[in-house]
Amino acid sequence: MQAMALLKLLVNGDACEVGAPDHWTLLEVLRYKLGLTGSKQGCDKGDCGACTVLLDGKPVLSCLTVAGLAEGHAVTTLEGLMPAHRQTGGEGADPVQEAFDRCGALQCGFCQPGMMLSARALLNENPHPTATEIRAALAGNLCRCTGYTQIVQAVELAVAEAAGREPAPPAWSESNPWRAAPPKTRPPEPRSSDGRS
């Protein structure tokens, strides 16, 4: 018989009580007891960052955090970003979510929740990070699909818009003056009169 615990948690601004085995991780409680599947179950050993949530605004790996340790702390999952943004007078999704969408920052989306929560934690602490600081803040979140360029650009877009300035054009944009010129095409080789080259 498994020992059970009654957990009193504050998740995305809502107080809740949930019964779970006392050895369960915060990730297991969020996904399998509360139905908050935005936090992804990836490596289960703290390597990939897909399970990242915010605990009192700081990113933590929920697959390595015993759920009982979250009692008395505010837990924020991906599902809580937009409501929190709207509670502060914002419209639409959280600016980080909007920027990731507009920059096409992710492909399969599995790492997306952890990436966005790590980015939100960074911007809450440092509203004007450098590209190096952005990369450092996201270093614990692995993405198997992209080269990270558009992920960093998404965070830079959120920073620029929060500061009321024009963001730098993305590397893939036609308007980027540093974009490499397209290769010159070779003219077709003349054909002989019998149709052979």
Q: d(Cα 191, Cα 127) in Å, to the nearest integer?
A: 62
Tokens of 162: 């929060």
pLDDT for position 179: 46
- Pairing of the two strands 52-55 and 4-11: unpaired
Residues in the chain: 197
Task: Show the domains of the chain with their CATH numbers.
Answer: 1-78 (3.10.20.30), 87-170 (1.10.150.120)
The chain-wide mean pLDDT, for the chain, equals: 89
Tell me the per-residue pLDDT of 72-92, one tens digit each, with 9 for 90 and over: 999 999 999 999 999 999 999
Helix, coil or strand: residue 71? coil
pLDDT for position 178: 41
pLDDT-based confidence at residue 167 (cuts at 50, 70, 90)? confident
Tell me the per-residue pLDDT of 44-58, one tens digit each, with 9 for 90 and over: 999 999 999 999 999
Looking at residue 108, its amino acid is: C
